[in-house]
């Protein structure tokens, strides 16, 4: 049966529309889920499964085996399964499936990779790296200060509008995943960097499509997440920091440094915009590992001296 006429394919398209309309899924998430569900549909077609009601636990287990045989990265497998599980749950909710085929399915869990983190001295070098005698450098300084001060994701950072900033009170309104909003604190250095950048007469004039965007490209368009990645890489090189880091590394550093200095885990959860505390708890492992490293280097009976 042609893919365009297959029921699973049509239902997947409807599910993605629902995901975009009611859950505020980002374009990146939608692209990934569309590719993952197309792969799942092709697998079902290869097994002669043409209707949603035919999707059984056996088919899902076979799909998992097929993924494992490809020796994909554990994170890639987990993302694909997450997309499929979510789609199948929607089919159950829509009455297309009597029960969830993944019920009782177990997958070997790989070790969870701890997030990367810059040391405080490296953060200070990075924040001092931009050449603030140039318009680009003033923008880059403001970008880096905001990400480290607020712990924002890349998309949240470039998505900031002028109306989201209250520099007098040191507050930024951040739009996170699922269109959820939260308030983030702007420290004094971040406020000063933003003020310098926004009042810069050489700041590019915003294009019509840029709207009220805070961070602009040289062409006056809203900065993209890809451009933000390149800016971070360029400033890392300028700071002489050899290790690889991303905009998300600044978010990880923000959370880890707060916990290192005694911040409450639930407070950090709110600052990061995490829906579940378990997501934030990974940063406690980072802090514990750092403390263990200090202990093993300093304690006379740690066994490492």
Which residues are catalytically annotated? 153, 177, 248, 251, 274, 283
**Bridge partners of 172?**
165, 184
52-81: burial string, b at 16+ Cβ within 10 Å, e else: beebeeebbeebbeebeeeeeeeeebebbb
Which helix (DSSP H) or strand (DSSP E) does residue 239 occupy?
Answer: helix 225-239
**How far is 245 from 117, CA to CA, in rounded Å?**
8
Residue 46 burial (C-beta neighbours within 10 Å; 0-12, 13-18, 19+): exposed
CB within 8 Å of 253: residues ≥ 6 apart:
117, 118, 123, 148
CB within 8 Å of 87: residues ≥ 6 apart:
12, 15, 33, 37, 40
Q: Is 81 helix (H, G, I), strand (E, B) or coil?
A: helix
166-181: burial string, b at 16+ Cβ within 10 Å, e else: eeeeebbebbbbeeee
> Is there a contact between 215 and 138 (Cβ–Cβ < 8 Å)?
no
**How far is 43 from 237, CA to CA, in rounded Å?**
44
Q: Which two tokens stand for residue 186?
A: 């702007």
CA atoms within 13 A on the CB side of 199: 7
**How far is 217 from 226, CA to CA, in rounded Å?**
12
């Amino acid at each position: 049966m042609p893919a365009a006429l297959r029921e699973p394919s049509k239902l997947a398209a409807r599910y993605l529309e629902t995901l975009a309309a009611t859950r505020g899924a980002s374009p990146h998430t939608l692209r990934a889920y569309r590719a993952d569900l197309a792969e799942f549909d092709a697998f079902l077609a290869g097994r002669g499964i043409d209707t949603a009601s035919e999707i059984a636990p056996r088919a899902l287990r076979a799909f998992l085996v097929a993924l494992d045989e490809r020796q994909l990265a554990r994170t890639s497998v987990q993302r694909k399964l997450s997309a499929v599980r979510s789609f199948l749950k929607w089919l159950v909710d829509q009455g297309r499936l009597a029960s969830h085929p993944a019920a009782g399915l177990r997958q070997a869990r790989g070790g969870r990779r701890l997030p990367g983190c810059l040391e405080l001295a490296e953060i200070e070098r990075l924040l001092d790296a931009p050449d603030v005698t140039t318009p680009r450098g003033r923008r880059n300084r403001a970008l880096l200060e905001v990400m480290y001060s607020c712990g924002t994701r890349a998309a949240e950072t470039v998505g900031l509008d002028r109306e989201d900033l209250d520099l007098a009170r040191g507050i930024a309104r951040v739009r996170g995943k699922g269109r959820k909003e939260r308030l983030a604190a702007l420290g004094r250095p971040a406020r000063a960097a933003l003020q310098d950048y926004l009042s810069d007469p050489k700041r590019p004039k915003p294009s019509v499509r840029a709207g009220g965007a805070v961070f602009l490209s040289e062409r006056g368009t809203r900065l993209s997440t890809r451009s933000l990645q390149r800016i971070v890489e360029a400033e890392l090189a300028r700071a002489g920091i050899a290790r690889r880091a991303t905009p998300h590394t600044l978010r990880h550093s923000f959370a880890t440094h707060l916990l290192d200095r005694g911040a409450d885990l639930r407070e950090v959860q709110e600052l990061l915009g995490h829906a579940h505390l378990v997501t934030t708890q990974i940063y406690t492992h980072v802090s514990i590992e750092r403390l263990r490293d200090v202990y093993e280097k300093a304690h006379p009976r740690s066994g490492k001296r």
